[in-house]
Structure 1
Amino acid sequence: MRVVAAMSGGVDSAVAAARAVEAGHDVTGIHLALSRNPASYRSGARGCCTIEDANDARRAADVIGIPFYVWDLSDRFHEDVVEDFMDEYAAGRTPNPCLRCNEKIKFAAVLDRALSLGFDAVATGHYARLETGPASRGGLVEMHRAVDHGKDQSYVLGVLTQDQLAHSLFPLGGSTKAEVRREAAARGLLVADKPDSHDICFVADGDNAGWLREKLGDRAPNHGGDIVDDATGEVLGQHEGTVGFTIGQRRGLRIGRPAPDGKPRFVLDISPVTGTVTVGPRERLAVDRITGRAPRWCGAEPGLLEGPQVTVQLRAHGAELPARVAVDGGTVEIELLEPAFGIAPGQAAVVYDGSRVVGSATIAAAVAAR
């Protein structure tokens, strides 16, 4: 196959490209230029979109012996990922920009361009496994969790459709991170010991709240408001804008004094319209009913999913929770069989059947456990 290898400049994508070559594919390496001003994005080990990363990717391609190009998708990235991130926070929701990048950029814009240029698939360094499913499920391409559960990235890939999976390669899904680093060193790749990237690539200093306040400016729904106690309605303090908060947040509330019982307070609710942030005890964060919208299925749309292997993951590094999932067109109703805490609208709920990723939905509402 003719394969485009998306090379971020890190060790994972470099080894994935090398393995694609070793598997006999005709591979071309590409690096995505996602920033209109690369110097404004994170640098060093904290990022994945810098000039330094582009140079690392180019050097890795040279060692592997494949052609290498840079594709400028900065306008598309800004519109579909950065603007979406700002709009969601302004509406009081908590988005996952990495998941949105996979949906809109890496497996939509990149794959569309690759196919139009005559390539057959896109290979990435994500930790997930692709298998051909049984005839009872239509023999479709199925995505499963990676062997290395500590590095598994199937959650942020839960937005991929069957057509996208059919044109994707994840060469690292059967390996551990330690094995990948050893292989990179053996291949002479200088990125073998490069630290993993973390957090949000387009927030240069890691201060999400400060970045949002600066970028939104007059578009922000408010410029401050009250922090209110859920039980008493007492105003405990003020804040500089609701974009600085997310459901379940504990740190950075700056309300000056502890609760009467001495226990910490958590953000329970955010109202961008009134500027009110409501706080209270952790137990008030418990939810067991979730409504999802805009579902995306990796294969056929399911109707009802229940049984011992059905689980839902609600955060990129969160635990799997046993669940019952009912799908009715554009709405997904999730009944958690044990409560979850700090679930915010805007996050993704990814549904699993054992290790298989069924699909995902964006959380629209979460109801308190009874």
Structure 2
Amino acid sequence: MKRVVVGLSGGVDSSVAAYLLKEQGYEVIGLFMKNWHDDSVTISKECPWLDDSNDAMLVADKLGIPFQTVDLSEEYRERIVDYMFNEYEKGRTPNPDVLCNREIKFDVFMKIALSLGADFVATGHYCRKGETVVEGETVYRLLAGKDQNKDQSYFLCQLSQDQLSKTLFPIGELQKSEVRKIAAEQALVTAEKKDSQGLCFIGKVRLPEFLQQKLQPKEGAIVEISASEEKYSTLIPDFTNKQEELDFLSRKYTYEPSEGKIVGRHQGAHYFTKGQRKGLAVGGTPEPLFVIETDVETNVIYTGQGKDHPGIYRRALLVSREETHWVRPDLQPEVGAEMKVQARIRYRQPLQEATLYQKENGLYIVFDQPQASITEGQFVAWHLEDELIGSGVIS
């Protein structure tokens, strides 16, 4: 009997994952991760982790498996929360869920599980693990979940071969409706429980309020840039080499306040992100305003009218060498090589046709179609069909 430690979150997915593993004959241990209980950064009067840990305990009891809570809040603060504040302060938009998986669930938590003699760690993620053999070595594949509406491979885009080798995804072959049905049949307390929303650690949180605890409000201007601004009609120049073309396609538009008109005030550029529409509190425009750029140095937010504003779109992006990660290192192209892939720049975005260009300074991704709100600090993940093979932080 192999021993598996399941990260029981108090939700239906991890509950059913634990049940399925027990049915398959594994020795199952349930662990609940307590990631946040800092009263100095209050989120809301509700205390979701207490309810969640209670539900996790009831599920473990029902399944007859050992259960305990592990407090990872110290590591969480250092590796996730501090990182988030730093990124927002720099005007980047981090993805705490991807980081939580890389730094906490599949690192700190996995080490605790292995110290308990576990052969594997299991989670309730909607994705699958495959294997192939390359030059006589087993190579692990990260595959999309069978439920296309719930595929969560994007959140695991930073996992390594070593982490994948010790991980199981028991519900990856199932639809969400099937997972709920199993939970109901087994009378698990989580069967009807709503999926948790919000950040992977604090549950019900409104991000600006959370950020305001550390990043001080600072009033600045909201500037509207016209869609007919000259820079958007730049003719594509003749390039002398591929590098020039890639740099041109992946460049950001830069703005000066004098290029537009002031239409409102905000409480801090670092609270806003590209593509954002809510929270601007500016009315009276024929079409809604969207954030097209933020400048945390000058504390100015640049906006444009309508979701088709040209300032929102770009054809390409760059991932620096240091921030490029290959789930499948054996597929990494040589410098100078290119590769056809499908890629996404945010969770739930349909996969987009793209080409990777590996250059000395990093990896360029050029999309067949322009992409809306390519955002620094977010993760881009690239696939070959249903296999996620690599990812990186957009620079």
TM-score by length of 2: 0.84
Match of 2:382 among 351, 358, 363: 351
Counterpart position of 1:16: 17
Amino acid at match of 2:326: W
Amino acid at match of 1:146: G
Counterpart position of 1:367: none
Does the CA-based 8 Å contact 1:88-1:346 persist in structure 2? yes
Q: CA deviation at 1:87?
A: 1.4
Distance 1:138 1:345 in 2: 36
Higher mean C-alpha deviation, range 163-172 or range 126-135: 126-135
Q: CA deviation at 1:341?
A: 0.3
Counterpart position of 1:368: none
Matches within 5 A, 1:283-298: 283-293=310-320, 294-298=323-327
Q: How many residues align?
A: 352
Quick one: structure 1 residues 203 and 189, their matched pair in 2 at CA, closer, same or farther if it must change by over 3 Å?
closer
Q: Which runs of 5+ in 1 are unaligned?
A: 365-370
Amino acid at match of 2:339: E
Counterpart position of 1:272: 296
Higher mean C-alpha deviation, range 296-305 or range 246-255: 296-305
Quick one: structure 1 residues 357 and 136, their matched pair in 2 at CA, closer, same or farther if it must change by over 3 Å?
farther
Q: Does 1:239 align with 2:238?
A: no
Q: CA deviation at 1:215?
A: 2.8
Quick one: structure 1 residues 243 and 306, their matched pair in 2 at CA, closer, same or farther if it must change by over 3 Å?
same
Per-residue CA deviations over 1:190-232 (Å, capped at 9, x if unaligned) read 1101010012255565321122123323xxxx61211112244
Q: CA deviation at 1:37?
A: 4.1
SS at match of 1:114: helix
Amino acid at match of 1:27: V
How much identity, in percent, do the aligned residues show? 34
Per-residue CA deviations over 1:37-75 (Å, capped at 9, x if unaligned) read 48955687xx8x510100000010011111001111011
Distance 2:315 2:45 in 1: 40
Quick one: structure 1 residues 180 and 363, their matched pair in 2 at CA, closer, same or farther if it must change by over 3 Å?
same
SS at match of 1:216: coil
Counterpart position of 1:257: 284
Amino acid at match of 2:294: I
Does the CA-based 8 Å contact 2:324-2:391 persist in structure 1? yes
Matches within 5 A, 1:1-370: 1-37=2-38, 40=42, 50-135=49-134, 139-202=138-201, 206-217=205-216, 223-231=218-226, 232-258=259-285, 262-281=286-305, 282-293=309-320, 294-300=323-329, 302-303=332-333, 304=337, 306-307=339-340, 310-328=341-359, 331-364=362-395
Q: CA deviation at 1:279?
A: 1.0
Q: CA deviation at 1:133?
A: 2.1
TM-score by length of 1: 0.89
CA RMSD of aligned residues (A): 2.2
Quick one: structure 1 residues 19 and 329, their matched pair in 2 at CA, closer, same or farther if it must change by over 3 Å?
farther
Quick one: structure 1 residues 54 and 289, their matched pair in 2 at CA, closer, same or farther if it must change by over 3 Å?
same
Quick one: structure 1 residues 205 and 55, their matched pair in 2 at CA, closer, same or farther if it must change by over 3 Å?
closer
Quick one: structure 1 residues 178 and 42, their matched pair in 2 at CA, closer, same or farther if it must change by over 3 Å?
farther
Amino acid at match of 1:319: P
Quick one: structure 1 residues 358 and 228, their matched pair in 2 at CA, closer, same or farther if it must change by over 3 Å?
same
Per-residue CA deviations over 1:155-175 (Å, capped at 9, x if unaligned) read 001110111000100000000
Quick one: structure 1 residues 61 and 42, their matched pair in 2 at CA, closer, same or farther if it must change by over 3 Å?
farther
Q: CA deviation at 1:148?
A: 0.1
Quick one: structure 1 residues 102 and 198, their matched pair in 2 at CA, closer, same or farther if it must change by over 3 Å?
same
Quick one: structure 1 residues 30 and 36, their matched pair in 2 at CA, closer, same or farther if it must change by over 3 Å?
same
Q: Which runs of 5+ in 2 are unaligned?
A: 227-258
Distance 1:206 1:6 in 2: 22
Give the number of the structure whose alpha-carbon radius of gyration is greater: 2
Distance 1:237 1:51 in 2: 41
Does the CA-based 8 Å contact 1:42-1:202 persist in structure 2? no
Quick one: structure 1 residues 328 and 4, their matched pair in 2 at CA, closer, same or farther if it must change by over 3 Å?
farther
Higher mean C-alpha deviation, range 171-180 or range 289-298: 289-298
Higher mean C-alpha deviation, range 67-76 or range 32-41: 32-41
Q: CA deviation at 1:345?
A: 0.5
Distance 1:269 1:137 in 2: 49
SS at match of 1:126: coil
Distance 1:143 1:233 in 2: 46
Higher mean C-alpha deviation, range 132-141 or range 49-58: 132-141
Amino acid at match of 2:378: Q
